[in-house]
Amino acid sequence: MIKLTINGKAHQLDVAPDTPLLWALRDTLQMTGTKYGCGQALCGACTVHVDGEPVRACSTPASAVVGRKITTIEAVDSQRVGQVVQEAWRKLDVVQCGYCQSGQIMSAVALLSQNRQPTDADIDTAMSGNLCRCATYVRIRAAIHEAAQALA
């Protein structure tokens, strides 16, 4: 049994220690907001927060995050930064197919939680691990700037 704290709630999971966090979330807990993209931590679709830092759930063993605070897209709107980022995403119509967006939003929230006035270079660096097949990068950057202004 592995004990994890996810979105503020304690869970006891009957999974092998090397089970990727992504599968513990999606298959065991039925939390499907975090997406499977590449399975190699290259695309960012599976991004969650562990103690406030963006982490790729597909390559993180569940046992590696025991005792740490895990936040998924399902609870990101419980934080002001998460609410503001999601509102900016809607306002600027960032989403096309939407598959990568939970990971994009999680990375954007992590950035704005640490840096309320990011430059384009800051945004590019923070978001560099998140790929978008629809190439909405310009709208993503604009939404992050929009959220930063709303948080100022």
Summarised one tens digit per residue, pLDDT across range 27-56 is: 999 999 999 999 999 999 999 999 999 999
Sheet holding 2-6, edge to edge: 9-13, 2-6, 69-71, 47-50, 53-56
Summarised one tens digit per residue, pLDDT across range 63-78 is: 999 999 999 999 998 8
Residue range(s) defining the domain that contains residue 19: 2-72
Instruction: For residue 120, give the 3-state DSSP assignment.
Output: helix
Do both 18 and 51 map to the same domain? yes
Q: Please state the domain count of the chain.
A: 2
Q: Which of 63, 64, 83, 61 is nearest to 73 (CA)?
A: 83
Do both 141 and 100 map to the same domain? yes
Do both 58 and 99 map to the same domain? no
Summarised one tens digit per residue, pLDDT across range 120-143 is: 999 999 999 999 999 999 999 999
Do both 132 and 90 map to the same domain? yes
